[in-house]
Amino acid sequence: MARQVPLVRHRNIGLMAHIDAGKTTTTERILFYTGVSHRLGEVHDGSAIMDWMAQEQERGITITSAATTCFWKDTRINIIDTPGHVDFTIEVERSLRVLDGVIAVFCAVGGVQPQSETVWRQADRYGVPRIAFINKMDRVGANHQRCVEMMTARLGCRPILMQLPIGSEDKFEGVVDLIGRQALRFEDLSKGMQVQASEVPAELIEQVEAARLEVVEAACEFDDELMERYLGGEDLTADEIRRGLRKGVLAAAIVPVYLGSAFKNKGIQPLLDAVIEFMPCPLDVAAITATDPKGNQVPVPADDNAPLAALAFKLMTDPYVGQLTFLRIYSGSLKSGDTVYNATTQKSERIGRLLKMHANQREEVKEVYAGDIVAAVGLKTASTGDSLCSPSHPLVLESLFVPEPVMGLSIRPATKALAEKLGLALARLAAEDPSFRVNSDEETGQTVIRGMGELHLEIIVDRLKREFKVEAEVGAPQVAYREAITQSAEAEGRYIKQSGGRGQYGHCKISVAPGEPGSGYVFKDKIVGGVIPKEYIPAVEKGAKDACEKGVLAGFPLVDIEVTLFDGSYHEVDSNERAFFIAASMALKDACRKAGMQLLEPVMKLEVTTPDDFLGDVMGDLSSRRGRVQSLDTRPGAQVVNATVPLSNMFGYATDLRSATQGRATFSMEFSHYDPMPASLAQEVMEKVRAEREARRQGLAA
């Protein structure tokens, strides 16, 4: 079967933003105007097509990224609508890993909010070109110019206004297209189906010409021919201006900015035009690189006739077809029934069926090509980040960044009969969501689930009950503390055991030193003269790492540590890998105790928007939670408090804030960094952890 749409007319885009900026509403309008849906889905009444999960419809937020396909002016647009809540940041991460372009949605009132910055940095990580849509221009307090200034200051980007508003707030009528010098209004009752072009209002002409000059100059910067003609006094055509701007967007040097109100059906059609005009097709994006079996870096061209190279970026359990594996096809083609090689797990698997997804609706296809985003049925061992390729051309693609969870809950089945079912359900959920982890405490047998925040874990428990029919009891939230050393130290570990016959002998000397923040565990081998044979050194490294993972102070992972092996000895008969593993673990613990240890706690970045009347109450409450106010911004009728607060003091904050401000204040929170805890509080945490473990141990013994 031949490709139906040329690759040059493909766009793989996503929508990203802070929570409640209007991503899903914007996506719903795109689906309506492109003819995919015949009704306007709304988030507030639970009828949004892209928010199909029961939990999404109840809460009015996006939890999982949803993919769909639509057509606009003969161009195929694959769209992924991503969550805005920080607890579901992995959904944004994995989507950006496979997308070619992004629409960043901003609220005209809120401007650049904390999660806007987070998703922008994620897009920076993958070098994804962007256009911006300033939404909610009809709201009281809407200020597009302020939003543009915040984009420059906070995101470090170069926004280029492509439109000016006609009217403001509740009098917002439409926009002026700067390139075409025409006013655009969106008619046809309340659905905005018809775009009516007319002359620019007289009172805006001067402002439009000044703003258009900036657009033209930006276009010329990226095209030498246009620059030469512009400096020569020639007028540039609209198509030429767009050509120059496109080069700037593809280089991620500029961000065209569009205005509108998705809820009021204004501004969506010009945004779709901008996707076609400025967003890259798979051929415009630099070929990604992969690693071949010899360790060489090789380019992966967007070519249907090249060997298959695809990345599994998302797993989802479908109640009707089983496990779906979402794939981005970078190179080659794939048919139902094909055998593919998983270069990550080094196993071969057969593709059962291929599906084009429209939220939770499925359309079966027989063959897919380079640039496509599809779901495959039948893959049993593939997980997020795995590379699928042709068996004759194994390639490993770059995987994706997965954030570390910061919160945990103990969990157990409501009845013993549900124990096995709970284990299987948790394993399925962990396979779907790499930022969700399941751990068992070896000493007590307790199961602990870890995630990105309260809401993340709340949704997990809710899904256990609804989707997997497993009733579970959960304990109090647990903060993911970390341990760290404060200075350098040395120690040696000896493990010598004689039990008749062959014994055990392992001896090593190590030094430890504090590492750079975020460096994790670093091991250095400085053995000279073969005092420890090379075959035992990996066991030393694993033994020290295992001790770090189990912790020294109170059982929390030990991070940001540099371990150096510099001396030791061995026995020709009794030495083995296990002996050196144990010796290294003993040495690491001893060295850390000498180095002085401290407990680290996760600190959250918090933004609270409150009416002026309640500012004092909000500030006082933050102070009682050991919060540190970083800045205070003024918005019309409201104050925005930016602060950092330890996560351990933020449980139940949503309820407390609602009570203190009569439900009128809002907040957003995301992980910032780890900080040393005050000694007195650290002591309390350690004593509590030890008491809980002892109680569970005695309970098991009984």
Beta bridge partners of 358: 361
* Residue with the two structure tokens 């051929």: 283
Q: Is 544 helix (H, G, I), strand (E, B) or coil?
A: helix
Q: What is the pLDDT of residue 182?
A: 93
From CA 435, how far away is CA 444, in angstroms rounded?
Answer: 24
3-state helix/strand/coil string of 205-241:
HHHHHHHHHHHHHHHHHCCHHHHHHHHCCCCCCHHHH
619-649 pLDDT, tens digit per residue, is 999 999 999 999 998 877 788 899 999 988 9
* Cβ atoms of 287 and 301 closer than 8 Å: yes
Mean pLDDT of 379-408: 83
Query: Closest Cα partner for 548 from 498, 510, 505?
Result: 510
What letter does residue 180 receive in the DSSP assignment?
Answer: T
Q: What is the pLDDT of residue 49?
A: 46
Specify the long-range contacts of residues 687-690, CB closer than 8 Å, at least 24 apart: 689/554, 689/555, 690/554
Q: What is the mean pLDDT of the chain?
A: 85
Residue 86: which pLDDT band, with cuts at 50, 70 and 90?
A: low
Number of Cβ atoms within 10 Å of the Cβ of 663: 9
Q: What is the pLDDT of residue 121?
A: 83
Give 625's contacts (C-beta < 8 A, 6+ positions apart). Answer: 645, 646, 649, 650, 653
From CA 84, how far away is CA 640, in angstroms rounded?
Answer: 19
pLDDT for residue 51 is more than 60? no
Beta bridge partners of 259: 134
Dihedral angle over CA of 296, 302, 304, 305, nearest 10: -40
Lowest mean pLDDT among 128-132, 421-425, 482-486: 421-425
Q: Is 694 helix (H, G, I), strand (E, B) or coil?
A: helix
* Cβ atoms of 48 and 42 closer than 8 Å: yes
From CA 266, how far away is CA 257, in angstroms rounded?
Answer: 15
Q: What is the pLDDT of residue 191?
A: 66
Q: Which two tokens stand for residue 84?
A: 């805005």
Distance from the first to the final alpha carbon of the chain: 67
Q: What is the pLDDT of residue 45?
A: 47
329-357 pLDDT, tens digit per residue, is 998 888 888 889 988 888 898 888 888 87
**Chain center to CA of 80:** 13
Q: Which two tokens stand for residue 347?
A: 């196993």
Q: What is the pLDDT of residue 655?
A: 80
pLDDT for residue 47 is more than 50? no
Mean pLDDT of 683-698: 79
pLDDT for residue 385 is more than 90? no
pTM, whole model, 2 decimals? 0.72
Q: Measured between alpha carbons, how far is residue 129 from residues 159, 253, 286, 374 in Å? A: 12, 8, 12, 22
pLDDT for residue 53 is more than 60? no
Give 476's contacts (C-beta < 8 A, 6+ positions apart). Answer: 409, 410
pLDDT for residue 445 is more than 90? no
Residue 87: which pLDDT band, with cuts at 50, 70 and 90?
A: low
From CA 263, how far away is CA 529, in angstroms rounded?
Answer: 73
Q: Which two tokens stand for residue 24?
A: 């899903």
Number of Cβ atoms within 10 Å of the Cβ of 585: 22
Give 681's contacts (C-beta < 8 A, 6+ positions apart). Answer: none
Mean pLDDT of 243-252: 93
Residue 178: which pLDDT band, with cuts at 50, 70 and 90?
A: very high
From CA 488, how far away is CA 515, in angstroms rounded?
Answer: 10
Lowest mean pLDDT among 270-284, 467-481, 517-531: 467-481
* Cβ atoms of 114 and 85 closer than 8 Å: no
Mean pLDDT of 478-500: 88
Q: What is the pLDDT of residue 56?
A: 46
Mean pLDDT of 146-167: 93
Q: What is the pLDDT of residue 291?
A: 86
Phi, psi of 520 (to 5 degrees): 75, -130
Q: What is the pLDDT of residue 599?
A: 93
From CA 541, how far away is CA 299, in angstroms rounded?
Answer: 34
Lowest mean pLDDT among 79-88, 172-181, 262-271, 408-417: 79-88
pLDDT for residue 673 is more than 60? yes
Q: Is 122 helix (H, G, I), strand (E, B) or coil?
A: helix
Strand (E) or helix (H) holding 56: helix 54-59
What letter does residue 570 receive in the DSSP assignment?
Answer: -
199-234 pLDDT, tens digit per residue, is 988 899 999 999 999 999 999 999 889 999 888 888
Q: Which amino acid is at 125?
A: R
Query: Closest Cα partner for 115 from 545, 490, 607?
Result: 607
Q: What is the pLDDT of residue 363?
A: 78
Mean pLDDT of 11-15: 89
